[in-house]
Amino acid sequence: MSRRKKNFPCGHKGYGQRCHRCAQEQMARNEKQQQKNAWEETFSKDTIDLRPFPKNVVLKARQILTALANQQDYRHFHGKRLRHDRFVITQIPHFKK
Protein backbone atom coordinates (compact mmCIF):
# COMPACT_ATOMS: atom_id res chain seq x y z
CA MET A 1 0.00 0.00 0.00
CA SER A 2 1.50 3.32 -1.03
CA ARG A 3 1.60 6.35 1.20
CA ARG A 4 -0.04 9.58 0.22
CA LYS A 5 1.41 13.02 0.61
CA LYS A 6 -0.44 15.32 2.96
CA ASN A 7 -1.39 18.87 2.17
CA PHE A 8 -0.19 21.04 5.05
CA PRO A 9 -2.04 24.23 6.06
CA CYS A 10 0.76 26.28 4.48
CA GLY A 11 0.05 24.74 1.07
CA HIS A 12 3.13 22.50 0.85
CA LYS A 13 2.90 18.76 0.42
CA GLY A 14 4.81 16.11 2.34
CA TYR A 15 4.77 12.91 4.36
CA GLY A 16 5.68 14.19 7.84
CA GLN A 17 3.79 15.50 10.85
CA ARG A 18 4.59 19.09 9.98
CA CYS A 19 5.98 21.07 7.06
CA HIS A 20 9.76 20.87 7.39
CA ARG A 21 10.27 23.46 4.68
CA CYS A 22 8.33 26.12 6.58
CA ALA A 23 10.10 25.14 9.81
CA GLN A 24 13.49 25.59 8.11
CA GLU A 25 12.50 28.95 6.67
CA GLN A 26 11.24 30.09 10.09
CA MET A 27 14.55 29.07 11.71
CA ALA A 28 16.45 31.01 9.04
CA ARG A 29 14.27 34.08 9.62
CA ASN A 30 14.82 33.87 13.39
CA GLU A 31 18.59 33.56 12.96
CA LYS A 32 18.69 36.51 10.57
CA GLN A 33 16.62 38.61 12.99
CA GLN A 34 19.00 37.74 15.84
CA GLN A 35 21.98 38.80 13.73
CA LYS A 36 20.23 42.06 12.85
CA ASN A 37 19.43 42.75 16.51
CA ALA A 38 23.05 42.04 17.48
CA TRP A 39 24.24 44.46 14.76
CA GLU A 40 21.83 47.15 15.99
CA GLU A 41 23.09 46.73 19.57
CA THR A 42 26.63 47.55 18.49
CA PHE A 43 25.53 51.08 17.56
CA SER A 44 24.80 51.93 21.20
CA LYS A 45 28.55 51.83 21.94
CA ASP A 46 29.51 54.26 19.14
CA THR A 47 30.47 57.83 19.96
CA ILE A 48 28.73 59.15 16.83
CA ASP A 49 25.66 57.86 15.02
CA LEU A 50 26.76 55.51 12.22
CA ARG A 51 23.35 53.96 11.47
CA PRO A 52 22.75 55.48 8.01
CA PHE A 53 26.03 54.14 6.57
CA PRO A 54 26.69 50.78 4.90
CA LYS A 55 28.31 48.00 6.91
CA ASN A 56 31.80 48.32 5.40
CA VAL A 57 31.90 52.07 6.09
CA VAL A 58 30.71 51.52 9.67
CA LEU A 59 33.45 48.95 10.31
CA LYS A 60 36.13 51.22 8.84
CA ALA A 61 34.86 54.24 10.79
CA ARG A 62 34.96 52.23 14.02
CA GLN A 63 38.58 51.28 13.33
CA ILE A 64 39.46 54.92 12.74
CA LEU A 65 37.63 56.10 15.87
CA THR A 66 39.34 53.54 18.10
CA ALA A 67 42.73 54.43 16.64
CA LEU A 68 42.10 58.13 17.23
CA ALA A 69 40.98 57.35 20.79
CA ASN A 70 44.33 55.58 21.28
CA GLN A 71 46.17 58.82 20.38
CA GLN A 72 47.16 57.72 16.87
CA ASP A 73 47.90 60.56 14.46
CA TYR A 74 45.02 61.56 12.19
CA ARG A 75 47.37 61.97 9.23
CA HIS A 76 47.98 58.22 9.26
CA PHE A 77 44.41 57.87 7.93
CA HIS A 78 44.80 60.72 5.41
CA GLY A 79 42.72 63.06 7.55
CA LYS A 80 42.72 66.78 6.74
CA ARG A 81 41.88 69.89 8.71
CA LEU A 82 39.10 72.15 7.49
CA ARG A 83 40.20 75.53 6.19
CA HIS A 84 37.63 77.62 8.04
CA ASP A 85 37.93 75.70 11.35
CA ARG A 86 41.35 74.17 11.96
CA PHE A 87 40.13 72.23 15.01
CA VAL A 88 37.81 70.05 12.89
CA ILE A 89 39.39 67.14 11.03
CA THR A 90 37.71 65.45 8.07
CA GLN A 91 38.19 61.76 7.59
CA ILE A 92 36.56 59.82 4.78
CA PRO A 93 36.40 56.06 5.39
CA HIS A 94 37.01 54.65 1.93
CA PHE A 95 35.16 51.67 0.54
CA LYS A 96 38.48 50.01 -0.31
CA LYS A 97 40.45 48.07 2.28
Split at pLDDT 50, 70, 90, the class of 97 is: very low
- pLDDT tens digits for 20-59? 999 999 999 999 999 999 999 999 988 889 999 899 889 9
Q: Which residue would you say has higher pLDDT here, 17 or 83?
A: 17
Measure the CA–CA gap between 31 and 14, rounded to whole angstroms: 25
pTM of the model: 0.64
Q: Residue 97: which of 40, 59, 68, 52 has the closest Cα? A: 59
Check whether 95 has a pLDDT greater than 60. no
Check whether 3 has a pLDDT greater than 50. yes
62 in Cβ contact with 49 (< 8 Å): no
